[in-house]
Structure formats: structure tokens, C-alpha cells
A and B are shown apart, each in its own frame.
Chain A
Amino acid sequence: MKARMKSKRVMGIITMFLCTLFLMLTGVQSAELKWPNSSYEGQKLEEVRAWEKQWAGKTVDASNVDGVKDFLPETYYDRIKHPEKWGTVSFIIIPYQYIKPTDGLIKATNDAVGKASVDNDEVLHNWVNGIPFPEPKTGAEIAWNFDAITHGDTEFITNGAWLIDGKRKNERYLGKVKIWRMYFSGRTDVPPIPEFPDNNKGYRRGLIYCFIEPQDMRGIRNLSIRYKDTAKEDDSWAFVPAMRRVRRMSTAQRGDSVGGGDNTWDDTWGWDGHIRRNKYRLLKTQEVLMGRHSDKPLPPTKGNIDHSGTQRERINCYVVEFISKDTDYIYSKRICWIDPETWRMPYEDQYDQQGRLWKTTEFTAAPVNSKGGMVTTVFSSNTVDVQRVHATPAIGYPQFIGEEIPKDNFSTDYLIRLGH
């Protein structure tokens, strides 16, 4: 009897062990299967395809924008609806297309599922590379996903920008800049992965702006270094040709205008500050028409506040509120739409300190084949000051993505070397 009971107990333990093992294995397997996941699948995808039969290929302007009003941020809808104030704007609807991440990003994400966590101070823990929260539940987790993506690890683009005065219906060419961006840690695609082995200074990202135009800014080269330590401010230097020297720059005023444009340094790519500087709240998910598959950069059309011709597709975005912890910050809040496939921010609204809508910023992207998947790059962006009816559109020409850049390029010696 005793032996039978003992045998039953052993069987029970074995069964429990097997069940636990099964659950663990299936748990891991299901986590692996959950990312990457497309925005639309199954019945929802069929619904979207059915809607596209009616709308895909159509040009939307003030006359028919009401038909897609539910799929546009209210601020953008308002601008299309009132061309007398904002100028004539139209866009084209295209079918939704899934954007597959690179192999490196998929592997890094799946290898680390469930490991990362974010605390109440918005500090990320136990993360090395990849998307830390493939199925985010909170605004902070979404914000960290947005921050973790390295856009192919390296990028070189040429960017041109204008200033549009919507009241006077005139424009001024602001200039042209070459931008090199490279991640030193959190890398997923370009060796060394996940980090340069001798990254003793704790670099997270290096960024170089080289001004080509206008003539009075020509040759200015700005180097910014972001650190893994989120409590540490960026370091910045600029080679100033007028003085033939490299000068240390203050990065304190992240809310300052970039070169006189409507966008601030923090507005770059939607948000370019440390994640821990804000509090986040997931407001909702919203299906919106966003530009993710542009086939060409879109320059501004004279006097019009917005680009025309953007190719927009439906995507189910997270809508997250960013509120700065700095009570004197120039914006009282940002409302950000974040694409769950590319973790880019296609659209955001910025509110002034009195809580009034001040600016909106849109990023129109295009995927570029890279490392077994796709990396999106920003083709066009536009920051609109809705209070002043003023805009700063910019277009980007990607030169390369995911190719090696010598890490010594992100040094002051290199600024001097290139400087004249």
C-alpha cells in the first residue's frame, strides 16, 4: 500500500514536472510567436481589405475627407478640411502592407522576451537589444520600444528643409544637412552585436549633422553623443568654420528651435530626448491613415502648409500621452501615435504650457530592404505651428542604412579632420 502510494506520489510529481515543463515550453514558444506580428491579421485584415476596395487608389482632399475622418488625427483632418487657411492638401490611400523587421531585430527581441522591465521612474532594466516589450501594456513600455529601435544600427541621410508662412503664403529655404547616425549599443543588425566591445564610455548613439546649406552655415559639423546612462545629458561639439575650431556646445535647451525651424531638438524623430524625462499614459489604440510606404520624398508645394501626395495606409497605432517631468518644459504634453510594426512615430500633437494645441508633427516613412527584413527611413517630415500657421517641412534622401561606419567618425578629431 505504502509502495503504491509512494509510486502515485512519484507519478504525481513527474506529472506536475512534465506539466510545468510543457507550460514553460509552450510559454516560451508562444512568446516567440507573438513577435513580429502584423498590425492586421485574420478577420481584421479581411475587414481592412474590404474597406480598401472602396478607398485604395483614391485621392483624398477637402471634398471627400469626411469619408475617412475617423482614420485621421483630428488636427490633420482640420487642415485638409480648411484649405482657405492651410492651403490645398491631398493624399492618396494605398493598401496596408506589412513591414517585416530585420532578422537581427527579430532574434534579439525573441531571445529576450519577458526579461526587460520598466520601473516607476521610467527607467528600463534588464535590456540589451531588440524590442523590450513586444506586447506592451503601458505607455512607458511603448515609449521604450520606440526608443530601443535602432533603425538598422547605422544610417546616412541627406535632409533639406523649408519654412512655410501660411499667412503670407511664402516660403524660405532653410538649408540642407547631411546626417550620420550610429548606435554603439543595443545593436541588432550590424556587427558587433549588441554593442561595441570597447564601449568604455557608455555611448548609446552618435549623431553627426553636417550643414551643406545655407552658405553662412556651410561646413558647420555638429557631433552629439548620447549615453546609455539615461541620467546623463548628451555631449555635443560643433566645428565652426568661421572660427576654424571645434567648440563645445550646450545641450541644455532641448526645447530650442533647430536652426530657426518650428521643430525643437526634442521633436526630432518625434521624440529625441531620454525616455525617463517624461511620464507616459496609453490613451487608446486608433486606426489611422499614415505614410509608411512613400515611393519618393515629398517637397512642399508653394505656400501650402502640408505636403501633398502622401501615400497613406491604415495602421492600428498606439496613442500615448507624453508629459514632461520638467514643469517648465515648453510643451504641457505630447500626444503621440506610434506604429506597432516599425515603432516609429508617424504623427504627434504638441500642446503649449497653457494646454492649447501648438504644433503637430508628421513623419512619412518608407521601408528599405536591409538584413533580411525592412528598416523604415523618414522620407518627409513636417512640423506645423498651428497657432502661427507656419510650418517646417523637410525631406530626406537616404544614402545608406545598415552599412558600417567607422566608430572613430564620432569623435571631435574627425570633426577637425573634415573641417575647413
Chain B
Amino acid sequence: MKTIVKQFTFFFPVLIAAVLVAGPDGYAKEYLDGKLDISGYFENFTAYRPQKSKQEDKGYFSNSRNTFYLEMGYKLIECPNYNVGFYGTLRNYYESAFDIDQDYSRASNRIDHSRLRHENGNNRLREIYTDIASGPFQIRIGKQVATWGEADGFRIADIINPLDQSWHWTFEAWEDLVIPVWMMRAWYKTDLPGDISFETVYIPYDFEPTQLAANGMNWGVPAITRQFWLNFKQSRPDNDINNGEIGFRISAKIKGWDINLHDFYTRSDDPIFTDDANKLIKGVLLGGEKLFKYRRYNVLGGTVTGYNEWTKAVLRGEWGLNMGQKFNTTLTGAPPFGIRSSDVFSYMIGFDRPTMVPYLSAWNNYRSVFISMQMFQRYIMHPPPGWIRPPDMGANDTTLTAFTLILETGFRNDSIVPSMLVAYSTTGWGFFLPSVKYKIGSHLRFILGGGVYWGHNKTEGMGIFRNNDEVTFKIRYEF
């Protein structure tokens, strides 16, 4: 009850303020002659898992996340020679699934709930940065998100910011999952043929690993025990200058194709076990040791996109060579672990094509169906003996092949938007995410969706979540 009151006291004043800010028609509000603009939303996302859990012989609510999101932009200086602007986003949430469903709450350690229950500390200020642009030069400094990739869902080039996979794995919109970090980006557009431009990214100290849920929670990885999960945080390197990550990108347009090449020297967002056996044993038995390492590697990659008139589709491609990526090895299947390197080559090819479907057109007033397909492959180029495979790869595989298909269209002037995403790996795992979005009036959005996850066994790919099939419901008030 106390938490519900606490939740109410937080959200109610903000809701009233938002309703007052939002007019009967408008959403975003512009002030000061358009220099300042504010927009945002309130949202409740609820997920119900019909299948029985491991702990209880019945289903449970795995999410009831109430989110407040505010976005602000301010143009400080606008003149022909240079522009200066600020941008920021604020987000807070309250996860009430632990309050609603005691069975779910009991499935994991109560102490661990706080990380998922609400946004912590400075993370509430998700993004805050300033933009300074003059002629062909632009610099952006602050806490922000940088993306370089073309692939949807597969992280080949989009590795600059880590992901928060703790609350709904990777099944939410990128903007809701990505973790902004403090960095500096700079662009320079040349007058060279091919519209060549350069971009550099420098993260001086801020390191954030991938966020995972604790064991027992709906999206907690079963193989990661609570002790290990707690040690992730403990093993995380301190935020100092040694965490520096730097990247460089060159972009050009050649014969109608947008081509990018990049190099990013980074620290892995995903940890591996330490190769110090004594430390590992001591840490497991007595605690206090850093059991994991976030090792460095270099990513060389590129993307290419272009419109093909014959197929009437946008063709997309992306590749990346992870040079010296670190893997754990074991000769017995158990500790002690070793650490070995292997280059990893990944690529994606895909297309996007809005397509008129003849029989559907009569129903949806000639709204096209957006079709997007991707094929992804990852090769471990020099797998060391006894290497421990990433969880999305088969037990004996050195190659991962996966496909995705997205379909989306609109009915009744896009007030009803059905969509679906299917992913399938040749190792046998996959997932199916259907949803229907319904827009009512100017501010309200409802999304009814679901997720079906499968895999050969509970240790490979989405197989780890194969009992997590769920029905989801989202209601959002935009202002």
C-alpha cells in the first residue's frame, strides 16, 4: 500500500501538469518563438505470462511498468554562421509487478527488486547534451546515444551504447533499451566528391555494461546465478580515464549508395569469467573478488544502403570484424576458465519494401504493407579449443545464421496498426512478436501484443526464455 501511495504521489502531479500542458489538439508545445519545445508521455506496460513459472504452479504478471518521459530541446543561438542548442530527456518509471503479483515477487530476492523497481539516481536524466554547429563542423558533447548500424536487432555496428535487457530483454524499441553514456561526437562534412564526411566518437571514461535481470526474474538469464549477477556490478571497471573508447567513421555517397566505414576501439559490454583460478575459487567461496572482466577489442566495420529501382526496395548491408574478441575456454566444461581471442566476422543483408498487397488494399484503403527482411550471420573465425560459445549459438556451432521478418500496415487511416516480427535461427531458436496499435483521439495509444519464444533447449538462444510466452498491453498518453 505504501508503495502504491508513493507511486501515486509521484505520478499524479506530473500527470496533471501534462494534461494542462497538452491542449485539446496539440502534443508538443513550442515556447519562446519555437526555441523551446517540450513533449513526452505517460505509459503503462503490463505483461502477463500465462504459462506456469518455475516457482509457482500458475502464471504471473512479469511487468507493470509505469513510465514518465519528458523530452526538451532548446535552441540557444540560431544564426547563419553557427548554432548552439541543448537537448535533454528525463525518464522515470515504477515497476509495480512486484507489488501486484506476490508470486512473482517471491521468485527472486527482494533486495534485487530495487534495480528494476525504479530508475536509479542520475539515470533519470537519460540524455543531456549540447550541440555546437558551424559551417561543415559540428560537435555534440554530453550524455547521449550514438548509432552507426543499419541492422534491426543485430548489434554489429551499434555497439557504442550498451543495452538495458533487464526489463523486457531486447523486445522494446531501441530508444527505450539503449543506455546513454557521456561522450563527445564530432562531424566534419567535406566538399570532396561523394559528399565525404567524417565522424569521431570519444567516450572518455563512462563505462556501462549490458544490464541484465537477476536470476528468478522473468528476464533473468537462468545460467547466471544471483552471486554472479551481483558480481557483474562489482567487477565493473571504475569510471576513469582507462575506460576510454574511441571510434572513427567515414561516410560517402557513391553512385546512389550510402557507404560508411568505421572503426571503434571499445570495451566489451558483456563480461567473461576471469582466468585467474585462485581468484575465482576464492571469490565464489568467500566473496569480495572481481570474478568477471570486460575486455577490450577493436571493431572494424561498415554499412551500405541504397535504393534499387528494379526491386523497388531499399537494400541494406552491414558487416563487422571484431578483432581479438575474448572468449572463455574450459577443457572440462567447468572452471578453471581460460581466456582466448578470436576474430569474429558478422554481416547482415536485408531489404525494406513498402508493398501494395492487392487483396488487402480493398480493406486498408490502399495502405502499403511495410516488409523488412534480414539475414544475419556470425562466424567465429579461429575458435580456440574448449571455447564457451555465446548463448545464441548452438552447442557445436561456430556459425550463427538468423533471419528476421517484419510486416506492418495500417487500417482506418493508421488508427489501427498491426505489425509482427519473426526471428528464426537455423540452430532452432526464434521468437514471434505480434502487436496491434490502436490510436484513440489525439493523445491516447493502446498496444495489444504478445511474445512467443522457442528453442531446442533451455541453454541456447531464445530457448532460455521458452517458457516466457506472454501477452502484453501498453497504454500511452502522449503530450
Q: With a CB–CB cut-off of 8 A, which chain B residues contact A212?
A: 28, 30, 37
Is there contact, CB below 8 Å, between A256 and B367? yes
**Is B240 engaged at the interface, CB distance under 8 Å to the other chain?**
no
**Is A197 engaged at the interface, CB distance under 8 Å to the other chain?**
no
**Is A355 engaged at the interface, CB distance under 8 Å to the other chain?**
no
**Is A408 engaged at the interface, CB distance under 8 Å to the other chain?**
yes
| Most B CB within 10 A of own CB, among A213, A250, A388 | A250
**How many Å from the CB of B362 to the closest CB on chain A?**
10
Is there contact, CB below 8 Å, between B352 and A390? no
Residue in A163, A252, A385 whose beta carbon sits within 8 Å of that of B353 in the complex: A252
Q: A244 CA to B25 CA in the complex, in Å?
A: 27
Q: A163 CA to B178 CA in the complex, in Å?
A: 34
Known A250-B352, A413-B197: A215·B41 in contact at CB below 8 Å? yes
Q: Which residue of A lies closest to B180 (CB)?
A: A244
| Most B CB within 10 A of own CB, among A243, A251, A412, A417 | A243
Q: A259 CA to B361 CA in the complex, in Å?
A: 16
Is there contact, CB below 8 Å, between B307 and A248? yes
Which positions 355-376 of chain B face chain A at CB distance < 8 Å? 355-356, 361, 365-368
Which positions 214-265 of chain A face chain B at CB distance < 8 Å? 214-216, 218, 233, 235-237, 241-245, 247-253, 255-257, 259-262, 264
Is there contact, CB below 8 Å, between A172 and B133? no
Interface 1/0 per residue, B175-192 and A, CB below 8 Å: 100100000000101000
Is there contact, CB below 8 Å, between A214 and B27? yes
**How many Å from the CB of A254 to the closest CB on chain B?**
10
**Is A37 engaged at the interface, CB distance under 8 Å to the other chain?**
no
Q: Which residue of A lies closest to B364 (CB)?
A: A257
**Is A173 engaged at the interface, CB distance under 8 Å to the other chain?**
yes
Known A253-B354, A262-B413, A420-B87: A218·B145 in contact at CB below 8 Å? no
Known A244-B146, A250-B307, A250-B354: A215·B133 in contact at CB below 8 Å? no
Report the count of interface residues on A (CB-CB < 8 A): 47
**Is B415 engaged at the interface, CB distance under 8 Å to the other chain?**
yes
Is there contact, CB below 8 Å, between A257 and B312? no
Q: With a CB–CB cut-off of 8 A, which chain B residues contact A412?
A: 258
Which positions 75-131 of chain B face chain A at CB distance < 8 Å? 87, 127, 131
Q: Which stretch, B212-220, B438-446, B463-471, touches the partner chain A?
A: B438-446
Residue in B131, B316, B354, B439 whose beta carbon sits within 8 Å of that of A248 in the complex: B316
Which positions 98-142 of chain A face chain B at CB distance < 8 Å? none
Q: With a CB–CB cut-off of 8 A, which chain B residues contact A250?
A: 307, 312-314, 352-354
Known A216-B478, A253-B354: A260·B413 in contact at CB below 8 Å? yes
| Most A CB within 10 A of own CB, among B25, B133, B316 | B25
Q: A106 CA to B340 CA in the complex, in Å?
A: 75
Is there contact, CB below 8 Å, between B307 and A390? no
**Is B174 engaged at the interface, CB distance under 8 Å to the other chain?**
yes
**How many Å from the CB of B180 to the closest CB on chain A?**
10
Q: A340 CA to B258 CA in the complex, in Å?
A: 41
Q: A257 CA to B364 CA in the complex, in Å?
A: 10
Q: Which residue of B lies closest to A175 (CB)?
A: B27
Is there contact, CB below 8 Å, between B367 and A257? yes
Q: A258 CA to B239 CA in the complex, in Å?
A: 47
**Is A330 engaged at the interface, CB distance under 8 Å to the other chain?**
yes
Known A248-B307, A250-B307, A251-B307: A172·B415 in contact at CB below 8 Å? yes
Is there contact, CB below 8 Å, between A213 and B28? yes
Q: A247 CA to B138 CA in the complex, in Å?
A: 20
Interface 1/0 per residue, B405-417 and A, CB below 8 Å: 0000010011100
Is there contact, CB below 8 Å, between A252 and B197? no
Q: A253 CA to B371 CA in the complex, in Å?
A: 12
Q: A245 CA to B441 CA in the complex, in Å?
A: 29
**Is A65 engaged at the interface, CB distance under 8 Å to the other chain?**
no
Q: A176 CA to B71 CA in the complex, in Å?
A: 17
Which positions 441-460 of chain B face chain A at CB distance < 8 Å? 441-442, 445
Q: A412 CA to B187 CA in the complex, in Å?
A: 12
Interface 1/0 per residue, A385-420 and B, CB below 8 Å: 100101010000000000000001001110011001
**Interface extent on B, as a size class?**
35 or more
Is there contact, CB below 8 Å, between B147 and A248? no
Is there contact, CB below 8 Å, between A243 and B365? no
Q: With a CB–CB cut-off of 8 A, which chain B residues contact A235?
A: 256, 307
Q: A237 CA to B316 CA in the complex, in Å?
A: 13
Q: A7 CA to B292 CA in the complex, in Å?
A: 112
Which positions 11-46 of chain B face chain A at CB distance < 8 Å? 25-28, 30, 37, 39-41
Q: With a CB–CB cut-off of 8 A, which chain A residues contact B414?
A: 257, 259-260
Q: Which residue of A lies closest to B351 (CB)?
A: A250
| Most B CB within 10 A of own CB, among A214, A237, A390 | A214
Is there contact, CB below 8 Å, between B413 and A390? yes
Is there contact, CB below 8 Å, between B27 and A233? no
Q: A385 CA to B367 CA in the complex, in Å?
A: 14
Known A244-B145, A417-B133: A260·B410 in contact at CB below 8 Å? yes
Q: With a CB–CB cut-off of 8 A, which chain A residues contact B131?
A: 417
Q: With a CB–CB cut-off of 8 A, which chain A residues contact B309?
A: 233
Which positions 254-311 of chain A face chain B at CB distance < 8 Å? 255-257, 259-262, 264
Q: A245 CA to B147 CA in the complex, in Å?
A: 6
Is there contact, CB below 8 Å, between A252 and B415? no
**How many Å from the CB of A246 to the closest CB on chain B?**
8
Q: A236 CA to B312 CA in the complex, in Å?
A: 13
Residue in A172, A259, A416 whose beta carbon sits within 8 Å of that of B442 in the complex: A172
**Is B430 engaged at the interface, CB distance under 8 Å to the other chain?**
no
Q: A163 CA to B25 CA in the complex, in Å?
A: 12
**How many Å from the CB of B165 to the closest CB on chain A?**
17
**How many Å from the CB of B395 to the closest CB on chain A?**
33
**How many Å from the CB of B182 to the closest CB on chain A?**
16
**How many Å from the CB of A276 to the closest CB on chain B?**
15
Interface 1/0 per residue, B291-307 and A, CB below 8 Å: 00000000000000111
Is there contact, CB below 8 Å, between A215 and B354? no
Known A216-B445, A250-B354: A173·B25 in contact at CB below 8 Å? yes
Known A212-B28, A213-B26: A417·B415 in contact at CB below 8 Å? no
**How many Å from the CB of B98 to the closest CB on chain A?**
28
Residue in B39, B306, B366 whose beta carbon sits within 8 Å of that of A256 in the complex: B366
Q: Which residue of A lies closest to B127 (CB)?
A: A420
Q: A207 CA to B147 CA in the complex, in Å?
A: 25
Q: With a CB–CB cut-off of 8 A, which chain A residues contact B368?
A: 253, 256
Q: A390 CA to B355 CA in the complex, in Å?
A: 24
Q: Which residue of A lies closest to B199 (CB)?
A: A416
Which positions 132-190 of chain B face chain A at CB distance < 8 Å? 133, 136, 138, 145-150, 173-175, 178, 187, 189
Known A242-B175, A255-B366: A248·B28 in contact at CB below 8 Å? no
Known A248-B258, A250-B353: A411·B316 in contact at CB below 8 Å? no
Is there contact, CB below 8 Å, between A245 and B410? no
Q: With a CB–CB cut-off of 8 A, which chain A residues contact B313?
A: 250, 252
**How many Å from the CB of B310 to the closest CB on chain A?**
10
Q: A243 CA to B352 CA in the complex, in Å?
A: 16
Which positions 362-404 of chain B face chain A at CB distance < 8 Å? 365-368
Q: Which residue of B lies closest to A299 (CB)?
A: B25
Q: With a CB–CB cut-off of 8 A, which chain A residues contact B251?
A: 413
Known A253-B368, A256-B368, A257-B414: A242·B174 in contact at CB below 8 Å? yes
**Is B276 engaged at the interface, CB distance under 8 Å to the other chain?**
no
Is there contact, CB below 8 Å, between A172 and B439? yes
Q: A212 CA to B413 CA in the complex, in Å?
A: 19
Among all A-B residue pairs, the 5 with the closest Cβ atoms: A260-B414, A252-B312, A215-B478, A213-B27, A173-B442
Q: 28 A-B residue contacts at CB 8 Å?
A: A172-B439, A172-B442, A173-B442, A213-B26, A214-B478, A215-B27, A215-B28, A216-B478, A233-B309, A235-B256, A237-B258, A243-B175, A244-B146, A244-B178, A245-B150, A247-B305, A248-B305, A248-B306, A250-B352, A250-B354, A253-B312, A253-B355, A256-B356, A257-B413, A257-B414, A260-B367, A330-B366, A417-B133
Using A242-B173, A255-B366, A388-B365 as known contacts, list a sample of 16 further A-B pairs with CB atoms less than 8 Å apart, ordered by residue number in A.
A172-B439, A212-B28, A235-B256, A245-B149, A245-B150, A247-B150, A247-B314, A248-B352, A250-B307, A250-B354, A252-B353, A253-B354, A255-B356, A257-B413, A330-B361, A411-B189
